[in-house]
Structure 1
Amino acid sequence: MSSKLNILFIMHMPPPIHGAAMMGKYIYDSELINTTFNCHCINLTTAKRLQDIGKGGIGKLWKFICLLITIIKEVKRIKPQLVYVTPNSCGGAFYKDFVVVQLLKIMKQKTVIHYHNKGVAIYQNKWLDNLLYQHFFKGIKVILLADALYKDIEKYVSKQNVYICPNGIPQTLYTKSIAAKNNQIPHLLFLSNLLINKGVFVLLDACKILKEKGYSFICKFVGGETAEINAACFKEEVKKRNLSKNVIYEGKKYEKEKQDYFEKADIFIFPTLYETFGLVLLEAMEYSLPCIGTNEGGIPAIIEDGKTGYIVEKHSPEEIAKKIEYLIDHPEKRIAMGKAGKEKFLKEFTLDKFENRMKDILEDCISSR
């Protein structure tokens, strides 16, 4: 009979592909975690496409009812020593996950939640949400991606019940990455789904400023279309800014195709308006790219301002343009930043580092009273 302890993981798994789902897949596939514990997994995802996230419907309601039934059956069957959940922090999706966590409490399950999003502080002033949060956070541990994210939940959770576990990603580059590129015209790269809150239009505005200053550059946008911004809409926004010769939308890319864009880029820009961590920044750092990101969520824990890249304020195309301009004019600086970013990635953000942090946290959760 196995002496390993049972953990029930109720977490998001792809599809669709987003940060929480990717980390769920890494945990699910982790040899370290699977050899340490008896792992059982239930997929918390009810949306199959990015466009479906946040939408309701009879189909989703039925899936949710089936999810609750599955949780009840699994808890009774495996009698887990710990249940791990990746809930949403606010809005309609939070109400769904609130029910999941309350069900676990009714069944007297020791529970830890792992936040890959934020928004509690925004909704906590609404009387209903405030009441629900008080019940939701009572008696559970919380895993956050960075220290800066604690302020989002500090009203409800004491620091002693919080773990900090930065994300990590698999190494895809096993040869030495080249910080110095041979591009005659600087290549800028944006890689994320086409969403307004990822800063797509902010970066287009920054590109417009650069062009009006006389800079030559190519800026490639790589990522999936969304209900907010499809290819036709993006093309129209590019045309409005007179950037048709400078900006290229490459569509959705995966694996080797995506890696080719990192290899050829000089500067990576991620001007997100809403973020908890930003896995894509880790990918860029592995490829020795200097990164420009916003002062948002856990991003300042990834980018060391002035050393591995630059942190700028949100909604600031002028500041982004200024940083890009400086890195174009000072290639030696962007090479040095890229090398420093690669060193930081290897030291802190590889998948094995994440797996070891997660294993230690899960063990501590189980052993804690």
Structure 2
Amino acid sequence: MNGSYFQLIVINNIPFMNYFSEDKNKKREFYEHTIQYINFLFLTEKNNSPYIIQLVVPPIYMEILDLQSFREEMTEFLEKENCNVELLTYWQQKDKNLLKIMKSLIQDNRIELLASPASFSQVSNASTSTGVQLQMEMGLSIIDDYIEYRPKGFWFPEGYFSPGLDLYLQKEKLTYSYLNSVTINHSDPLPSDVGLAVESPHHVVFFPVEESLYQIFQEKNPQKQIWDKAIMEVLESYNHYTNESILSLPIDLESYVKIGEELNKSIRYLCDEGYMVHITPETYLNQFSQGMDHVHLCSSFLDQHRESQIKNQSDIYASLAFVEKELHQWRQVLLSNEAKSVQKQLEKEWLLLSALLYQDNWTAEEASSYLEAANQLSIFMKGPIDKEWMSLREKVHPILNTTIQMNNPKINEIIPSNKKKALILSWEYPPNIVGGLGTHVVGLTNSLIKNGYEVHLITAQDMQKKAEDVEEKNGLFVYRVKPIYSIEQNFIHWIGGLNLAMWDKAIELGKKTTFDLIQAHDWLVGAAAISLKDQLNIPLIATIHATEHGRNGGIYTEMQKFIHGKERQLIHAADSLIVCSEYMQDEVMSIFEVEQSKINIIPNGIESMQIENASFPSVESLHLDKNKKIIFAMGRMVKEKGFGTLLEAARKLHKKRSDLYFVIAGVGPMYEEYQRFIERNGLSECVQLIGYLHGEQKNAFYAHANIVVIPSSYEPFGIVALESLIFAVPTIVSHTGGLKGIIKNGETGLFMEPNNADNLVENIEYLLENPTEGKTIGKNGQKLVSQLFSWNRIGEETKRVFDELLVNTKVNESISN
């Protein structure tokens, strides 16, 4: 097949709330629309269409169809107003039961029914998990009760979707839905081609809907030559060599009844000429789901015509949200049977008000009747219940009586807490440690807990474990997630998959935990953090540990350009920034054009240790010669850490003396190159690369080292310097970056010129020849670190920044409101 696949979606946008209106014109409009629906069912049953129609019907409307009062009134209307004798005959022959006709058409594979929100309103505007669940579960329960059918697909009214809603679809075992094709074409990562269905983080497939075609069919009198041309333009834009492109054609039922015959001519022509062929969503999934693009989807819509209405009636919509949040609160409480009946009616009032507001031509008086009832029910939830009032109100709208079981949170899943909750994203966390970032996050989370915060940390899965694991200890919750592209070799793609998994987990947590803020550590988690800021509607604070520009002395390659762009995106999206030194503050301000007022300087910290009382393995057990002076260095094996300079200094010193032994710990891309340098220059007897060290191993080497060297050419802060100083080891550091703010030359350490091996040799020789001065320098450094860089102090500083951000956010919200 060289053409595309296609499917047709018919949407019954009937103003079903008009059935309850006292306005005769509105009620007449409802019956006229119902005549169109009868006509649609009649034509679908009569005509032998070569394709199955995806049908969307508001669930509440299905309940109305089952009311005896509706059937009687509809019969009267048809007899008085309708001149189509054939349609009246059809109505009577089918026992005035449209639900029965729908069942028959589904069984005959003439239509497939799509699920939709119970009130057929924009579920993306629901502000709580209870609201979304109620819309989804009630809608599905109505279909099950009245049609005895379980849909596989879901239709978002007017195409309104927001990230995270696919989680609810997945939980209800709904496998596919529809989105504006523009949204799909701009997903992250980009899909491999246009016109393809994609899979969301929660494994729901989304078919693209061409908005241009949707708008053409929305017109009052759509013209065949116009839609023919538009459909051809779309089909020609697809890459037919993929054999996976699919054209989804959504059309309102009223338009379909009017132009259905002409539209079917267009479809038959395109099918006969090989431009497209019909496929059901389920068949498409069975055929193509294995190689489908996995993407992160942003918010989407097909029609924005309600935006002005929402702005003009913002007080009513705000009241709707208030009722929903009250429902959400009561869902967390164990209620008596009487209170449950009140809660049920409150749900009903909320759903009906939702249905009313998302139809045209409603009045403030109509909305007020639901709001007044909701207010009365709220009073009953807290005090005596007026049973007579309740009985009368329940009879006003004899619908929405389907019983559903909401997924109430388990007691052990939500522990009430008055503590502020921080959501922290970090790609590094023990046991996955690559550099200083992971060590920083450990110290920070522990100190935040001591300062009264509850911390929820999402990080990469321990790659030694198969399943996702969760830890909880003293107010710290650690969630390790598996990247969606876990076996991806390309690091950028792997990071993209990690962000999708992090976002997924955070959305899941957000259903049962209200976070106060998000903290993102570096660009690697920026995509998830930026999306969550909007999705959870909470402020974002980013900690910038280093920049790609600083690491490389500029931006030169495409990879560096990509990372630099991601850093800029995160920095400008964040409400506040934390950096570890004045040097980093200046770097961020100059490179990314950020105001100083947005940046907070909080240095890295280190846990204080009782070195004197600690026991460490002997020199011999570490495979070190006790007769030699140990010069220790540690860090990632990358160019900017300056280990090339240290190896060159070792080569020079090896020619002068034989009492030195250089130990360099760490892993990274330069490891093999450094090992070859050692072998090529005959340094194997005096230089050893020992790979990654765990905490106790690392401390053992610090304890036995005579000198520590930090030869970085770029170092935003230098947590390794703190680790060596806490052991009172005389330390040589490069005169660069944040290291300049830690060391006072000759008092708490020694400075070397970056990339200058001769100068490093001079500093090492000075400390070896002046052991007393070296010991004093080490003790002064230890004292400095203990006073200024304890995690307790840094935790207090971070808490201050967090609290200040939360206050500023509330102030800004109150001003904007």
- Deviation of 1:63 (Å): 3.5
Question: What percent of counterpart residues are identical?
Answer: 20
Q: Deviations over 1:308-357 (max 9, x none)?
A: 11222221111111111111122122111111111111111222222222
SS of the equivalent of 2:612 reads coil
CA–CA distance in structure 2, aligned partners of residues 64 and 126 of structure 1: 19
Q: With a CA cutoff of 8 Å and minimum separation of 6, indicate the structure with the bigger relative contact order.
A: 1
TM, length-normalised to structure 2: 0.40
1:33 maps to which residue?
Answer: 449
CA–CA distance in structure 2, aligned partners of residues 48 and 29 of structure 1: 23
- Deviation of 1:216 (Å): 3.6
Closer/same/farther in 2, CA of residues 136 and 329 from structure 1, 3 Å limit: closer
- 1:219 paired residue among 658, 661, 680: 661
Q: Deviations over 1:254-299 (max 9, x none)?
A: 2333222222221110112332222221111011111111133211
Residue 288 of structure 1 pairs with residue 717 of structure 2: no
Residue 101 of structure 1 pairs with residue 530 of structure 2: yes
1:203 alignment partner AA: L
CA–CA distance in structure 1, aligned partners of residues 753 and 781 of structure 2: 20
1:347 alignment partner AA: Q
1:19 maps to which residue?
Answer: 436
Q: Structure 1 stretch 239-248 or stretch 288-297: which is displaced more?
A: 239-248
Closer/same/farther in 2, CA of residues 54 and 336 from structure 1, 3 Å limit: farther
Closer/same/farther in 2, CA of residues 305 and 105 from structure 1, 3 Å limit: farther
Residue 269 of structure 1 pairs with residue 709 of structure 2: yes
Q: List aligned pairs for 1:141-220, cutoff 5 A.
A: 141-155=576-590, 156-175=593-612, 185-212=628-655, 214-220=656-662
TM, length-normalised to structure 1: 0.83
SS of the equivalent of 2:685 reads coil
Residue 252 of structure 1 pairs with residue 692 of structure 2: yes
Q: Deviations over 1:12-43 (max 9, x none)?
A: 3234212111222233344x525612322222
2:790 alignment partner AA: T
1:330 maps to which residue?
Answer: 770
Closer/same/farther in 2, CA of residues 175 and 118 from structure 1, 3 Å limit: same
1:345 maps to which residue?
Answer: 785
On the 8 A contact 1:101/1:136 being kept in 2, the answer is no
Task: Mark the structure with the bigger radius of gyration.
Answer: 2
- 2:682 paired residue among 215, 222, 242: 242
Closer/same/farther in 2, CA of residues 132 and 252 from structure 1, 3 Å limit: closer
CA–CA distance in structure 2, aligned partners of residues 153 and 77 of structure 1: 36
1:180 maps to which residue?
Answer: none
CA–CA distance in structure 1, aligned partners of residues 579 and 735 of structure 2: 17
CA–CA distance in structure 2, aligned partners of residues 307 and 323 of structure 1: 14
1:23 alignment partner AA: H
SS of the equivalent of 2:589 reads coil
Q: Structure 1 stretch 331-340 or stretch 251-260: which is displaced more?
A: 251-260
CA–CA distance in structure 2, aligned partners of residues 229 and 186 of structure 1: 23
CA–CA distance in structure 1, aligned partners of residues 563 and 684 of structure 2: 48
On the 8 A contact 2:426/2:441 being kept in 1, the answer is yes
Residue 4 of structure 1 pairs with residue 444 of structure 2: no
On the 8 A contact 1:120/1:153 being kept in 2, the answer is no
SS of the equivalent of 2:519 reads strand
Structure with greater proportional helix content: 2
Q: Deviations over 1:72-103 (max 9, x none)?
A: 33345423222111122xxxx4xx62453244
Q: Structure 1 stretch 316-325 or stretch 289-298: which is displaced more?
A: 289-298
1:304 maps to which residue?
Answer: 744
CA–CA distance in structure 2, aligned partners of residues 159 and 53 of structure 1: 39
1:24 alignment partner AA: V
- Deviation of 1:252 (Å): 3.2
Closer/same/farther in 2, CA of residues 193 and 56 from structure 1, 3 Å limit: closer
CA–CA distance in structure 2, aligned partners of residues 23 and 132 of structure 1: 19
2:418 alignment partner AA: S
Closer/same/farther in 2, CA of residues 54 and 355 from structure 1, 3 Å limit: farther
2:600 alignment partner AA: Y
- 1:118 paired residue among 537, 547, 552: 547
On the 8 A contact 1:98/1:136 being kept in 2, the answer is no
CA–CA distance in structure 2, aligned partners of residues 42 and 344 of structure 1: 33
CA–CA distance in structure 2, aligned partners of residues 68 and 84 of structure 1: 13
RMSD (Å) for aligned C-alpha atoms: 3.4
CA–CA distance in structure 1, aligned partners of residues 509 and 575 of structure 2: 20
CA–CA distance in structure 1, aligned partners of residues 580 and 488 of structure 2: 22
Closer/same/farther in 2, CA of residues 267 and 101 from structure 1, 3 Å limit: same
CA–CA distance in structure 2, aligned partners of residues 60 and 288 of structure 1: 38
2:641 alignment partner AA: K
CA–CA distance in structure 1, aligned partners of residues 641 and 736 of structure 2: 11
CA–CA distance in structure 2, aligned partners of residues 24 and 164 of structure 1: 16
SS of the equivalent of 2:649 reads helix
CA–CA distance in structure 2, aligned partners of residues 118 and 146 of structure 1: 13
On the 8 A contact 1:218/1:248 being kept in 2, the answer is no
1:83 maps to which residue?
Answer: 518
- 1:66 paired residue among 501, 516, 519: 501
Matched pairs, number: 353
Closer/same/farther in 2, CA of residues 247 and 176 from structure 1, 3 Å limit: same
2:760 maps to which residue?
Answer: 320
CA–CA distance in structure 2, aligned partners of residues 351 and 275 of structure 1: 20
Q: Structure 1 stretch 183-192 or stretch 284-293: which is displaced more?
A: 183-192
- Deviation of 1:225 (Å): 3.5
2:595 alignment partner AA: S
CA–CA distance in structure 2, aligned partners of residues 153 and 37 of structure 1: 28
Which 5+ residue runs of structure 2 have no aligned equivalent? 1-415, 465-486, 615-625, 810-817
1:338 alignment partner AA: G
Closer/same/farther in 2, CA of residues 262 and 130 from structure 1, 3 Å limit: closer
Closer/same/farther in 2, CA of residues 161 and 271 from structure 1, 3 Å limit: same
On the 8 A contact 1:165/1:358 being kept in 2, the answer is yes
On the 8 A contact 1:222/1:253 being kept in 2, the answer is no
- Deviation of 1:130 (Å): 6.4
Q: Deviations over 1:216-239 (max 9, x none)?
A: 432332423434314xx5443123
Closer/same/farther in 2, CA of residues 131 and 202 from structure 1, 3 Å limit: closer
Q: Deviations over 1:196-223 (max 9, x none)?
A: 33222210101122233x2343233242
Closer/same/farther in 2, CA of residues 263 and 133 from structure 1, 3 Å limit: closer
